A and B are shown apart, each in its own frame.
Chain A
């Protein structure tokens, strides 16, 4: 019975919004392949003589490979620890046990403690552990994340109890139940967790800024900020660097969009 109104005004509005959302990307991409209107006014809308020289500059002017390697190592450690620990905690929370209510409240209140409000003690604690300026130290605060624990809990809760009972009757030990039955069924939770923890650790800036002391340990965001601080906005290489840093994140997001959005919404609404 709904009257069908014309859809073109909706399309028009959405196209306008998308345009505004995408223009900054275009502007940076354009500068990274031309660099021309750093000094020219009015700026060219379409790049004249696009080239990749600035990308080559990035490769030779800064230790891009080193930053990249550091970021990859820290992200890999974070993802591995995150998935294992969150799956374990999520599984534990599907059980009834003494103190469960307390644990749930503890986890939920931890969500209200932003990392930025813990930097001073976090630095001191990591120092006490002797992990300053190390890969493990860089990853440690992100070893477990509350949102992802709840994503796992939700997906374990969705597994029918009869399946687990059947496995128990067959005499499977608990860890085998988790390993052979629950985890394969929680694949999408795992994918969500991998993506979210990758994005969080790949983009992390404040923690590496505080705790790395040597350039050899710096990650990409830090390298980018450092490059900005000694080059200012004077070279197209800065923008080439930006594009090179953004590309993996954008690519991963486009490939795994479903899991990503699912994770955010389920984690957010079920937390």
Chain B
């Protein structure tokens, strides 16, 4: 009797708790559902579909036939693919170069001077702009006849004949890289600045008391402690540069010849100009593996900490 009396409220309590947790779980999953659905539909499913499609011979009007790795074999002898891959590797360069420049700027802006917010704003201004418009602006800057860059180059007697930047096999790709750096510089600077401001100033004061020079302080304190921020910049910069479809498409369209063709523009052309969805999917799979490899390598180089979590 006594046992039953004590057990009854106990049972009621646990069942209440269980109902509360179940209700909470249902609520949590309902709240997650829309976002999950979008990510499944536009991130996860496409990855799987790309792999499946890359193993088939298919175009919108023909039934799919399984052909194994034939699409990948075709890639081995596809010169345009290799050129695009090489160009994609080259365009990643814009990340480390941009980050090095941004690091200098972040150090300057971080110093205790008046008007630093104005400098920060002006340098950052190019980041949120529409890339298509940025590409048109830079086409105009690079213009062979009346572009500002050629004008300045001739004014300074760096060259006698105008350089057709975007129509030259040698200059076209570096020109795109410069435009990309111009747009991303402010972003890198802001991320690095946040990293800099998270370094306790007591470290610098202690180092100064110990007689460390400015160079020592930079190499021994600033740079090691900034490593997570630099890694973060690199991953974002890398993703941004290898996917700079808008910039390449509007500035050069991949030309001259294939001099600025990168994997994403090649994929677009294969898929939506030549309607070769199957082969485009195979190139996409290679592109994705390439991205993951670079990110993994960068992570290893930065000391194995993904992101800046250990900074907090």
Contact = CB atoms under 8 A, between A and B. Distances in A.
Interface of A: 1-2, 7, 10-11, 13-14, 17-18, 21-25, 27-28, 31, 37-43, 81, 84-86, 88-89, 91-93, 95, 97-98, 103, 106-107, 110, 112-125, 140-141, 143-144, 146, 149, 174, 199, 202-203, 205-206, 209-210, 220-221, 224-225, 228, 233, 238-239, 242, 245-246, 249-250, 253-254, 257, 260-261, 264-265, 268-271
Given A10-B108, A95-B24, A125-B46, A42 B35 contact: no
Nearest to B27: A174
B137 interface: yes
B34 A121 contact: no
Contacts of A228: 136, 250
B271 A119 contact: yes
Contact of B191 (A116, A144, A268): A268
B137 A233 contact: no
- By Cβ-Cβ distance, the 9 closest A-B pairs, closest first, are A118-B46, A121-B46, A121-B49, A92-B31, A144-B35, A89-B35, A88-B31, A221-B132, A203-B130
B140 interface: yes
Nearest to B228: A269
B219 interface: no
Given A27-B140, A97-B25, A110-B44, A117 B128 contact: no
Contact of B34 (A43, A88, A103): A88
B164 interface: no
- Mostly helix, strand, loop or mixed at chain B's interface? helix
Contacts of B47: 113, 117-118
B222 to A, nearest CB: 15
**B-side interface size class:** 35 or more
A23 to B, nearest CB: 7
Contacts of B131: 203, 205, 221
Contacts of B239: 112, 114
14 contacts: A14-B119, A24-B126, A24-B137, A43-B148, A93-B32, A95-B24, A112-B292, A114-B291, A118-B50, A121-B49, A174-B27, A246-B130, A257-B124, A269-B195
